Amino acid sequence: MRSKDDYRSLTGVQKAALLLMSVGEESASKLVAMMHDDEIREISQTMANLGTVSATVVERLFVEFADSISSTGSLTGTFESTERLLAKVLDKSKVDQIMEEIRGPAGRTMWDKLSNVNESVLANYLKNEYPQTVAVVLSKIKPDHASRVVALLPEAFAMEVIMRMLRMESIQKDVIDDVERTLRNEFLSNLARSSKRDAHELIAEIFNNLDRNTEQRFVTALEERNRDSAEKVKSLMFTFEDLAKLDPGGVQTLMRGVDKTKLPIALKGASETLRDLFLSNMSERASKMLREDMAAMGPVRLKDVEEAQMSMVNLAKELAAKGELILADSKGDDELIY
């Protein structure tokens, strides 16, 4: 740093390092825990070389930070806005690499990422690899996920992989590095490129969060302009009535997490079929109490019913994203994890 009293000479990394040093060890440790190893190394190196920084510079940093957050009112991050921002400071190949990484499955390490890849997708890729490579992969990912992948591999091939795993002792680092490199270059990068969000999915999610009258108005207008797109959007929409496709375990999982004050309101406006599904998955005593609650509340505003039902749909999607229940699409043709 040319001058520790010249705020204008600070780089972005130096500002980040100063901010971490200023917020105290407890808060800084929480922030560092969310960083990647290369980020930690870069910021640590910068910290070590900062020397003495004047109080005026530190104050200016916090003022700028507060202004940048508060002036926006709210912040919305998207893949597109992130890509535009990165393109201003990095070359295209580096931007493409980073975007492939974040568009792909979530996870800090390669093995975390693989554990978040749908088992059928991963099995379909691994069945064409050498048994030894597959043995390394299955030994590194989470056991419950590995079991689902093994079940989808051709049986003879799966047994060959299992025998390799049984004979496997310590795996040399260069072997693991080679497998990681291959998976990253040939599998995860292709998966990230192919998983760019479809516009119809985005519109379906937006429509899902509208009130019923507004949603129907937009769907009708879309049908008049482009019937094919309207049909595709409708097929992707997940509504409260689609909860009827949950299995008993899914219903019980959902009910354990739902706001108990919203359940009677949501079911008050539900179809008889859906209402019976939820009531049949409760104890006799709980079912009786819920029926009494619904009867006692009298007429309920449509707006309140829709809000309660939407909260249940959103909870179902959150639980599905965690793998705690499975949602079916609105056509019921396939099971999809949202």
pLDDT in tens, 156-215: 999 999 998 888 877 777 778 788 777 777 676 665 555 555 677 778 778 877 776 788
Residue for token pair 């595709």: 232
The CA–CA distances, whole Å, from 64 to 5, 49, 94, 175 equal 16, 23, 28, 47
Please determine, for residue 103, whether its predicted confidence score (pLDDT) is greater than 90. Answer: no
Record the tokens describing residue 299, joined without a space. Answer: 């007429």
- What would the pLDDT profile of 126-142 be if each residue is shown by its tens digit? 888 889 889 988 888 88
> d(Cα 273, Cα 232) in Å, to the nearest integer?
26
The CA–CA distances, whole Å, from 185 to 36, 100, 101, 144 equal 20, 10, 11, 25
The CA–CA distances, whole Å, from 166 to 135, 163, 196, 205, 234 equal 9, 5, 38, 46, 49
Task: Compute and round to an integer the Cα radius of gyration of the chain.
Answer: 26
> d(Cα 275, Cα 283) in Å, to the nearest integer?
14
> d(Cα 141, Cα 148) in Å, to the nearest integer?
11
pTM comes to 0.37
Q: What is the mean pLDDT of residues 222-244?
A: 82
Count other C-beta atoms under 10 Å from residue 178's C-beta.
13
Residue for token pair 């989470």: 142
Q: Are 311 and 259 spatial neighbours (Cβ–Cβ below 8 Å)?
A: yes
Please determine, for residue 39, whether its predicted confidence score (pLDDT) is greater than 90. Answer: no
Record the tokens describing residue 13, joined without a space. Answer: 């990394």
Residue type, 238: F
Query: Residue 192's pLDDT is what?
Result: 52
181-190, 317-326, 329-338: least confidently modelled range: 329-338
Q: Are 70 and 78 spatial neighbours (Cβ–Cβ below 8 Å)?
A: no
Tell me what the pLDDT averaged over the chain comes to. Answer: 78
99-113, 167-181, 217-231: least confidently modelled range: 99-113
Tell me the three state secondary structure of residue 57: helix
Query: Residue 141's pLDDT is what?
Result: 84
Query: Residue 91's pLDDT is what?
Result: 76
- What would the pLDDT profile of 48-93 be if each residue is shown by its tens digit? 888 888 888 888 888 887 776 665 444 455 556 666 777 776 777 6
> d(Cα 90, Cα 96) in Å, to the nearest integer?
10
DSSP class of residue 49? T
Angle at which helices 131-140 and 173-182 cross, to 10°: 100
Query: Residue 331's pLDDT is what?
Result: 42
